[in-house]
Copies of this chain bind each other. A is one copy, B any other.
Amino acid sequence: MPKVTFLPSNKQIDFEDQENLLKAAMDAGVHINASCGGAGVCNKCRIFIEQGEVKGEELPDGGWKACNTVPVTDVVIRVPVESEMDRKALARPLASKAVSWIKIHGESLDLKTEPVVTKELIDLPEPSLHDNISDLGRIRREVGQSFHLDVDSQVLYRLPYALREGNWQVTASIMETARSDHKRLVRVQPGNETRANYAVCVDIGTTTVSAQLVDLRDQKVLYESSNYNPQVSFGEDVISRMEFSRKVDGLDILKDKIIECLNQLIEELVKGANASKQDISFISIAANTVMTHFLLGLETKFLRAQPYIPVANQFPPVRASEIGCDLPEHVRIFLAPCVASYVGGDIVAGVVGVGLNHHPELTLFIDIGTNGEIVLGNQDWMACAACSAGPAFEGGGIKFGMRATVGAVEVVHIHPVTFEPMALTIGGKKAKGICGSGIISLLAGLFMTGVLDRQGKFRRDLDTKRVRQGSEGWEYVVVEKEATSIGQDIVFTEADVENLIRAKGAMFAGYLTLLESVGMAIEDLERVILAGNFGSYLDLDQAIIIGLLPDIPRDRFFFAGNSSLTGARAAAISWPKFQEMKHVSQMMTHFDLSDNPRFMDHYVSCLFLPHTDLSLFPTVKEALKA
């Protein structure tokens, strides 16, 4: 792979899978002005080739557009600078990333296969006058010696035919119960059908529904698919959906929508895996408390209002067909247990998915989603809370916030002297808005370059057109109109900053409150696990700079991806993991922060960048000094 050297900073990088030299510069820690996100329209990212060969877009007045040029050989590139100040400023730190938890500690993927429904091949002696026990008795005699075998009454209708069609060889689907000495016969198929024993695993998020088809023989994910939660049309967040559910038929509509979505995803899974719905033995679902209620069609009226009471936190297995899934009668849905109104089965599944409950280290598990749930603890105890952080870090409530799709500004570097941005979009397309990682990167950059003060206010006295008073107050122009696909300047406003400070403040106040409740402090944290989409792209330093994450050694951070889905899959592959989820949900001490005076105190202290008390953020304090 070609080696790229950037002058004057003399930083080097191997050009690997970056799309262009602009992205390579970002990865190398080199600032190049670029305000169109890399879409090739602003012409600001001019570079000069001093050695080697490139191909791409040469500018008429000399130089190349970094955003549209790739190296052919090793190259030496000069980034034009106007002053010595610039030169120094170009040395910006490399992004610090969390490492994959699953790659390092992924024990939940190293599971013994013992699903809740197993398929057993049974060869039975043919009945005779001297051995004429009932069909069911014959099966029980063969498999039910060491445990009590209950039976679904539905099985009895098929049973006599299955036995005789299979010439007394049948495949029995046997389901575990809460008691190891109690099982349940849920299906009998003629002949050997043991090869096909699949589970569907689902994470029902407020925004996205993700599903996998897992082969229970070898734990392989045969196919996966995801889609937006169609309930979004009736409310972006759980609160507005709960409001909607109170309308006539509202609850039914929400239930129908999610069932429809599940049905579609399952269709896709079986089609994609070239499987049959008949081969699905059960479904494992993790979802937050509200989503779980909607899935079952349970009332959320009392969950919505103080004191926030769910109908249930642990749910009995439900027949998929009974709630409207287009699946055979034997298929049951196993739902991850919830802890409280706003700490749901997704968190419990996540905790079990990453195996937090098997590690002695003090761990902070963070799911920065719409709500922001956190779990603090280890194998012996756990405390959890929902922080009501809101969806700011998903782009919600941010003027130009958007989801992380093509055209979203995903990373921004601010030039410390000129305050010009180096902004990259997803897919290198014209900018449409700013996604979560872009927002964090922008907020951190503006703060560290002094464009924003610790209260989150723009400095009014800067010599740059980027900071200006807009129609809604002071703002920073991230991408100028000409370089966007939306025909207007993409700006980042003081109101946006305020929302983000409140959001990160709620999260951090949550950490502090839980830590304090067990007499511990930030520095005691041995591990921080980031769940959700954030993990792999997040620049830890930036997230710490803005006070969203605690300022502890970066090697204590891990990202776990969709740990809720990981947990649902773990519970599908291993029934004991499902039992663990129950155990975890019961061992978790829930702190209701909405009513907690200590939380309110911490929250107020957190409404600064990064925090009122800078000693909590030693590396940020150090960097600010420099």
Contact = CB atoms under 8 A, between A and B. Distances in A.
A465 interface: no
A47 to B, nearest CB: 59
Interface string A306-329: 111111111110100010000000
B299 A127 contact: no
B312 A164 contact: no
A341 B127 CA distance: 13
Interface stretch (A57-65, A146-154, A223-231): A146-154
A573 interface: no
A130 to B, nearest CB: 8
A311 B156 contact: yes
A274 interface: no
Contacts of A307: 127-129, 131-132
Contacts of A306: 129
A160 B340 contact: no
A553 interface: no
Most chain B CB within 10 A, of A134, A152, A159, is at A134
A301 interface: yes
A517 to B, nearest CB: 14
Given A153-B318, A316-B152, A135 B297 contact: no
B160 A311 contact: yes
Interface residues of A, number: 50
A595 interface: yes
Interface in A126-169: 127-137, 148, 150-153, 156-157, 159-161, 164
Given A161-B299, A299-B161, A592-B129, A150 B178 contact: yes
A132 B302 CA distance: 11
A314 B137 CA distance: 8
A145 B512 CA distance: 34
Given A129-B307, A307-B128, A301 B134 contact: no
A459 interface: no
A435 B544 CA distance: 96
Contacts of A595: 129-130
B296 A160 contact: no
Interface in A552-602: 592, 594-595
Most chain B CB within 10 A, of A156, A299, A301, is at A156
14 contacts: A128-B307, A129-B592, A129-B594, A131-B307, A134-B313, A134-B338, A136-B311, A136-B313, A150-B178, A150-B316, A160-B298, A164-B302, A178-B182, A179-B182
Interface of A: 127-137, 148, 150-153, 156-157, 159-161, 164, 178-179, 182, 296-299, 301-302, 306-316, 318, 322, 338, 340-341, 592, 594-595
Closest 7 CB pairs of A and B: A136-B312, A134-B310, A132-B307, A129-B595, A134-B313, A129-B307, A160-B299
Given A134-B309, A153-B322, A156-B298, 18 more contacts: A129-B308, A129-B592, A129-B594, A130-B592, A134-B312, A135-B310, A135-B312, A136-B312, A137-B313, A148-B178, A150-B178, A152-B316, A157-B299, A159-B311, A160-B298, A160-B309, A178-B182, A182-B182
